[in-house]
């Protein structure tokens, strides 16, 4: 053998020795002629001389239910030998070798000679157990979180309703007999209840944003922003705010989440305004490679640089609730919405001058969970 060819062969062999992907080669009659260590590790038993029709049973290839043997193995290999590629998912569980069950994706491809004749098939076996476990866990914890939030929201509200309702009743019964001090205390109780209620509702919104499935569709941002501005009308009129909106694109997004995102960001721009001048807000969008970059700029009080990242954390507040009302959930909701659209959100700000919140939404609007 020429030296160069032997070096090449050695190199190829060591690659197959090292990689984590299971590689199995079979000849045109269905007999295994090559099998790398990863394949034996994943399957749990090493390759043996077993006729193709006995493979499923021998190696323990099951359907996702874990009970029915997977019929695809034999048919896919037969198909590959006649020139057609196939992919399928199996649950491998055998009691001969390893008893641990494993989720695998198997790709079967025809192998051809230099003369383009089919010489057999290549099986690529990928262990997807870890991925599967992680995605299952994520799905479970999402469901649990949603159930918890719904139950908590209802059951936490109930005692609050009692506190609030009986305080009202007490006021009704006592009428004019209530002195100034008692009235003050009762108002404090009612305020506390209202704050708690806002907190629970915001928390519920936050958990819904995280768990509710997204409906991604072409969404016209001009319409979304226009309706947000309309619903913020009261505070715009009150503060004498001026809101400038550039022409915005139509993007692939969940319309209700996008609306919440703009609503929170524009709402913040109005809320955290300077004491001495009416708020001026600019809403812009610009195309950057494969994504859209949106910005909401204001001339408000700004955020000190050390808090620029912290403001997106849940319950993070920079001001007392008497100075600026709120629960510290708004920007955490924004962060979650942008994350779920596969984008990024951040703020650039100069205290006393203003803040600009930026967020990106990828063109294709692919969902990330």
Partner 1 sequence: MNQLINILIVDDSADDIEFTLAALKGTKLANDINVVNDGVEAMDYLNKKGKYESASKPSLVLLDLNMPRKDGREVLSEMKADPELRQIPVVILTTSQAEEDIVRSYDLHANCYISKPVDLQALSQIVKSIDDFWFGVVQLPPPR
Shortest reach from residue 195's CB to partner 1, in Å: 12
Q: Which stretch binds partner 1 (CB under 8 A): 4-12, 69-77, 84-92, 154-162?
A: 154-162
Pick from 94, 107, 127, 108: which is nearest to 21 by CA? 127
H or E, element range at 102: strand 102-112
Shortest reach from residue 196's CB to partner 1, in Å: 10
In the complex with partner 1, which residue's Cβ is closer, 93 or 157? 157
In the complex with partner 1, which residue's Cβ is closer, 109 or 208? 208
Strand-pair partners of 219 = 251
DSSP category for residue 213:
P
Asked if 353 touches partner 1 (CB under 8 A), the answer is no
Asked if 201 touches partner 1 (CB under 8 A), the answer is yes
> CA 22, 102, 132: angle at the middle one, nearest 5?
100
Shortest reach from residue 24's CB to partner 1, in Å: 48
Environment class of residue 208 by beta-carbon count within 10 Å: exposed (0-12), middle (13-18) or buried (19+)? Answer: middle
Shortest reach from residue 200's CB to partner 1, in Å: 10
Shortest reach from residue 223's CB to partner 1, in Å: 20
For partner 1, the binding residues in 11-40 under the rule CB under 8 A are none
In the complex with partner 1, which residue's Cβ is closer, 69 or 160? 160
The pairing of strands 32-35 and 216-220 is: unpaired
Asked if 360 touches partner 1 (CB under 8 A), the answer is no
Cα torsion 229, 233, 238, 240: sign: positive
Beta strands in 176-269 (DSSP E): 216-220, 242-245, 250-254
Asked if 143 touches partner 1 (CB under 8 A), the answer is no
Please enumerate in sequence order all residues whose Cβ is within 8 A of that of 52, keeping only pairs 6 or more positions apart, or say none. 30, 74, 77, 78
Q: Which stretch binds partner 1 (CB under 8 A): 55-63, 181-189, 200-208, 295-303?
A: 200-208
Alpha carbon distance 360, 339 (integer Å): 10
Asked if 158 touches partner 1 (CB under 8 A), the answer is yes
In the complex with partner 1, which residue's Cβ is closer, 160 or 274? 160
**How crowded is the C-beta side of 60, counted as CA atoms within 13 Å?**
20
Taking CB under 8 A as the criterion, the residue among 7, 85, 150, 368 binding partner 1 is: 150
For partner 1, the binding residues in 160-199 under the rule CB under 8 A are 160-162, 164-166, 168-169, 172, 193-194, 197
Taking CB under 8 A as the criterion, the residue among 100, 133, 140, 154 binding partner 1 is: 154
Strand-pair partners of 124 = 23, 107
Give me the 207-246 binding string for partner 1, x by CB under 8 A, dash otherwise. -x--------------------------------------
φ and ψ of 104, to 5 deg: -135, 150
In the complex with partner 1, which residue's Cβ is closer, 109 or 190? 190
Q: Are 344 and 338 in contact (CB under 8 A)?
A: yes
Q: Which residues bind partner 1 (CB under 8 A)?
A: 150, 154, 157-158, 160-162, 164-166, 168-169, 172, 193-194, 197, 201, 204, 208
């Amino acid at each position: 053998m020429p030296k160069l060819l032997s070096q090449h062969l050695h190199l190829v062999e060591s690659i197959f020795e090292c990689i984590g992907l299971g590689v199995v080669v079979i000849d045109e009659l269905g007999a295994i002629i090559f099998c790398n260590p990863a394949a034996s590790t994943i399957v749990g038993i090493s390759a043996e001389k077993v006729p193709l029709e006995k493979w499923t049973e021998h190696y323990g290839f099951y359907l996702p239910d874990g009970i029915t043997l997977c019929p695809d193995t034999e048919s896919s290999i037969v198909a590959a030998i006649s020139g057609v590629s196939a992919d399928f998912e199996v649950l491998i569980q055998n009691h001969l070798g390893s008893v641990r069950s494993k989720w695998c994706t198997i790709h079967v491809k025809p192998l051809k000679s230099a003369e383009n004749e089919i010489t057999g098939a290549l099986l690529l076996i990928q262990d997807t157990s870890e991925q599967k476990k992680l995605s299952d866990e994520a799905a479970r914890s999402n469901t649990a979180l949603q159930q918890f939030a719904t139950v908590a929201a209802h059951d936490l509200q109930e005692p609050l309703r009692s506190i609030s309702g009986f305080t009202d009743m007490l006021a009704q019964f006592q009428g004019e007999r209530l002195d100034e001090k008692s009235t003050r205390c009762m108002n404090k109780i009612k305020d506390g209840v209202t704050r708690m209620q806002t907190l629970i509702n915001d928390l519920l919104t936050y958990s819904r944003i995280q768990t509710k499935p997204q409906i991604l569709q072409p969404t016209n941002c001009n319409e979304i922003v226009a309706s947000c501005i309309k619903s913020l009308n009261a505070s715009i009129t009150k503060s004498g705010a001026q809101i400038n909106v550039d022409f915005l694109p139509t993007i692939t997004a969940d319309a209700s989440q996008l609306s919440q995102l703009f609503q929170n960001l524009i709402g913040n721009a109005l809320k955290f305004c300077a004491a001495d001048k009416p708020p001026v807000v600019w809403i812009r969008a610009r195309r950057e490679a494969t994504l859209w970059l949106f910005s909401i700029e204001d001339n408000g009080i700004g955020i000190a640089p050390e808090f620029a990242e912290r403001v997106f954390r849940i319950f993070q507040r920079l001001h007392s609730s008497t100075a600026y009302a709120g629960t510290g959930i708004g920007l955490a909701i924004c962060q979650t919405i942008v994350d779920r659209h596969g984008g990024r959100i951040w703020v650039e700000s100069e205290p006393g001058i203003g803040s600009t919140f930026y967020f990106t939404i990828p063109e294709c609007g692919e969902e990330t969970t």
